[in-house]
Amino acid sequence: MSDTIRRRVCGMAEQALGFDGFMEVALYGAGGFYTQGGKAGRRGDFITSPEVGPLFGAVVARYLDSEWERIGRPDTFTVVDAGAGPGALARSVLAAEPACRSALRYVAVEIADHQREQHPDEVESVADLPTAPFDGVVVANELLDNLPFRLAVFDGGWREAFVVRLPDGQLVEQLSAPFDPAPATLPVPAPHGARAPLHQRARDWVDHARSLVRNGSVVAIDYCSATTAELAARPWREWLRTYRGHERGGHYLADPGQQDITTEVAIDQLPTPDAVRSQAQWLQLHGIADLVDEGKQYWAEHAARPDLAAMRMRSRVSEAEALLDLAGLGSFSVLEWRS
């Protein structure tokens, strides 16, 4: 356990640390997982859609072009890549050379210094969302699941889980008195020991992102459940997960700062989206099949003397299989809020 995180938990003295506060420290505080080097990518701790290959970004580029056209082709079209990580999505979107490129202002938002250092020179690399309203799109790929959340546990009623440190240094949960009243999205009754996330931070983030977009959209791509009740009915280890080194990690209180902590997002706790699709449906809607066909044709024309471009075009077939897989990335949800 990071000494910094240990001091933060211990520093609460007689107070307990809410699960959202614990998660904030464990992921983003000094000595936290993302602060000290955790990241997406084949050499990182997990793979997200942009790291599968450039095809995902090429489809996103098509979506950006459609939004640019929909809002009247503004002279400045701002795309905010929220939770940009090391910049894989930014690189593939720019490489796709979208029609909106001449108007494009690409802002890559990433809290971790070591990841911002990897962003391409063509983008604005910042730690926070812009402050001024703009015309364009906010894209958040696997961001909402990492925003700190409160944790509710059913024990004769819904109670909030807090984190405390025992004298021997072990971190354990302590439950509050029952909520009075309980948040409306929590089902009653529920099985003893049922758990559910409370996504106030995610809801606030979506509200804030929407307030920045004058004309355009906010798009969040994540693993989601339709309702909080669905999550509460399932074993909590299915939706409250940890990762490190491309493998599932240990209990979320074990080794804070050394593993990612993530959750499925309950859509009913967010502002009501204008559209909800699976990632497979969204990619198909925005032309992934055309891009794969283009790749096959290019490969057929250059297979005798393949160059790097031909190899990339050939890889679109396997990339599409991974991105559309309904047992994996294809089952993710794409939520859209339009203005």
Question: What is the pTM (predicted TM-score) of this model?
Answer: 0.92
Same domain, 314 and 331: no
Q: Is residue 176 part of a domain?
A: no
pLDDT of residue 39: 55
Record the tokens describing residue 222, joined without a space: 């994540």
Per the DSSP assignment, residues forming a β-bridge with 260 are 243
pLDDT tens-digit profile, the chain (339 residues): 455 665 565 554 456 899 999 999 999 888 888 888 765 545 555 689 999 999 999 999 999 999 999 999 999 999 999 999 999 999 999 999 999 999 999 999 999 888 999 999 999 999 999 999 999 999 999 999 999 999 999 999 999 999 998 887 788 999 999 999 999 999 999 999 999 999 999 999 999 999 999 999 999 999 999 999 999 999 999 999 998 876 888 899 988 888 999 999 999 999 999 999 999 999 999 999 999 999 999 999 999 999 999 999 999 999 999 999 999 999 999 999 999
Q: Classify strands 150-154 and 158-165 as parallel, antiparallel or unpaired.
A: antiparallel
Q: Is residue 5 part of a domain?
A: no
Same domain, 221 and 307: no
For residues 323 and 279, the answer to whether their CB atoms sit within 8 Å is yes
Q: Which helix (H) or strand (E) holds 31?
A: none
Q: What is the DSSP secondary-structure string of 196-233?
A: EEE-HHHHHHHHHHHHHEEEEEEEEEE-EES-HHHHHT
- Cα pseudo-dihedral 281, 283, 285, 288, rounded to 10: -130
Same domain, 293 and 280: no
Same domain, 262 and 113: yes
Same domain, 264 and 204: yes
Q: Is residue 44 part of a domain?
A: no
Supply the range of the domain harboring residue 233. Answer: 49-148+200-285+327-338
Same domain, 80 and 141: yes
Q: Cα dist. 332→149, 221, 322, 325 in Å? A: 20, 7, 12, 10
Total number of domains constituting the chain: 2
Same domain, 223 and 297: no
Q: Is residue 39 part of a domain?
A: no
Same domain, 140 and 232: yes
Q: Classify strands 265-266 and 224-225 as parallel, antiparallel or unpaired.
A: parallel
CATH number at residue 258: 3.40.50.12710
